Copies of this chain bind each other. A is one copy, B any other.
């Protein structure tokens, strides 16, 4: 099994979508050879019919998009620990995925984009800045100047998650599953690109984040990060 993933300077893994896929693979107890891709060698992904990571290759199967990878793993490896628990859990998982993409990553974007630029290889910095300018009409320095507002938005967008984690250990209940990995992808992006603390120390989300960093032999904790 191979997982194509974004790898920036010093091999940093910043993509929230790749992190979702890595956590899902680990939950299933599966190992994949990790193939690093930079912005300048996206043509290595042509075989997948699109140009974004993660891409999972499992024998003859090629699956791109972290949600589709989660669904593929659930279907192909039903005897291993379930990511969703049930059809209703998987259905709701899509809504969680959309919430994470639209609301959580929407607010994380402003916070994490300047640091992502900083750890992007020098040869790719012009492409990165140009593509963000086309999306948002803002330069990297425009976005950097919004840090205080971005932090406020991230903390506010976490409110339903915060209230849930005040009542149970994981977003999926007593043990972690897809919902946790989907949200944690965003926090891995922050951990690898934003040095200050995103969360107050007494935030229930921070206690959960620490538990998530411990999972799978500290997979998230060990990655090269900007956190103190």
Question: Are A171's CB and B82's CB within 8 A?
Answer: no
Asked whether B89 lies within 8 Å of A92 as measured between CB atoms, the reply is yes
State whether the Cβ of A98 lies closer than 8 Å to any Cβ in chain B: yes
**Within 8 Å CB of A174, what residues of B?**
87, 91
Does A179 have its Cβ within 8 Å of any Cβ on chain B? yes
- Tell whether, in the assembled complex, residue B99 and residue A173 are in contact, meaning their CB atoms are under 8 Å apart: no
Asked whether B86 lies within 8 Å of A171 as measured between CB atoms, the reply is: no
Q: Looking across the interface, which residue of chain B has its beta carbon closest to that of A81?
A: B88
Residues of B within 8 A of A175 (CB): 87-88
> Please, how many angstroms separate the alpha-carbon atoms of A127 and B197 in the complex?
44
- Number of this chain's copies in the complex: 2
Chain B residues, CB < 8 A from A159:
98, 102-103
- Give the dominant DSSP class at A's interface: helix
Question: Are A102 and B171 in contact, with the CB atoms below 8 A?
Answer: no
Residues of B near A99 (CB, < 8 A) are: 99, 160
Inter-subunit contact A89/B94 (CB<8 Å) = no
Q: Is the CB of A109 closer than 8 A to any CB of chain B?
A: no
Q: Is A93 an interface residue (CB 8 A)?
A: yes
Q: Mark A171-184, 1 if CB is under 8 A from B, else 0.
A: 11111011100000
Residue in B88, B94, B168, B179 whose beta carbon sits within 8 Å of that of A84 in the complex:
B88
A168 and B94 in contact, given A82-B86, A84-B89, A87-B85 (Cβ under 8 angstroms): yes
Verify B177–A94 contact, CB threshold 8 A.
no
Distance in angstroms from A166 CB to nearest chain B CB is 9
**Min distance, Cβ A202 to any Cβ of chain B, angstroms:** 19
A164 within 8 Å of B (CB atoms): yes
**A98, A174, A177: residue with the most chain B Cβ atoms closer than 10 Å:** A98
CB pair A88–B91 under 8 Å, yes or no, is: no
